[in-house]
């Protein structure tokens, strides 16, 4: 039963990742265009877009934690196999690098959202999101386990 639940959560986590990537792309492109056109920051559109991207990413992280804690890797860690996982690049990616990098990306995204909220000018609001969401997006792309996902 737990194995089936893990597979289901893993499938949802992998599927939801497409929405996360799409939201980052939409947000970054929209903010870059708005910045280039010197548009005034629109709370009804711009704030909601950045907020929705952050919420979608938070949900992905929760799904990821559930996937991680219900995985055979986590069972192996509890049984003392961490040293073995660290020796193999693929296992290390799934056990350590991917979760750690996603948490760092989430922190950057959250920090960017807070910087955007506190910025006084439209330009600074757009720049906060472009810079910090952009770095987070790059980190996400670098640590997606492509061989498992695609």
**Cα-Cα end-to-end distance for the chain:** 26
The secondary structure of residue 150, as a DSSP letter, is -
Name the residue with tokens 């280039």. 36
- Say if residue 1's pLDDT is above 70: no
Name the pLDDT band for 74 (thresholds 50, 70, 90): confident
Give the tokens for residue 33.
């265009």
Q: What is the pLDDT of residues 11-59, one digit of tens each?
A: 999 999 999 999 999 999 999 999 999 999 999 999 999 999 999 999 9
Residue-wise pLDDT for 4-23, tens only, equals 788 899 999 999 999 999 99
CB atoms within 10 A of CB 9: 20
**108-150 per-position pLDDT tens digit:** 999 999 999 999 999 999 999 999 999 999 999 999 998 887 6
pLDDT of residue 6: 84
* Contact between residue 61 and residue 143 where contact means Cβ atoms under 8 Å apart: no
Tokens for 45?
A: 């559109």
pTM: 0.92
What's the confidence (pLDDT) of residue 149?
Answer: 72
**Cα–Cα distance between 50 and 134 in angstroms, integer?**
12
Give the CA distances from residue 71 to residues 15, 35, 99, in Å, rounded to whole numbers and listed in that order. 17, 43, 13
């Amino acid at each position: 039963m737990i194995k089936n639940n893990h597979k289901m959560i893993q499938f949802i986590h992998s599927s939801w990742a497409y929405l996360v990537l799409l939201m980052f792309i939409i947000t970054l492109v929209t903010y870059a265009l708005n910045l280039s056109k010197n548009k005034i920051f629109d709370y009804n559109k711009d704030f909601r877009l950045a907020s929705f991207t952050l919420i979608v990413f938070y949900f992905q992280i929760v799904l990821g934690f559930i996937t991680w804690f219900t995985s055979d890797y986590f069972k192996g860690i509890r049984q003392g196999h961490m040293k073995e996982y660290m020796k193999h690049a693929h296992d290390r990616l799934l056990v350590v690098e991917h979760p750690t990098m996603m948490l760092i990306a989430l922190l950057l995204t959250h920090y960017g959202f807070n910087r955007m909220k506190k910025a006084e000018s439209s330009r600074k609001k757009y720049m906060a999101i472009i810079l910090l969401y952009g770095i987070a997006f790059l980190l996400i792309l670098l640590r997606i386990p492509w061989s498992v996902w695609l």
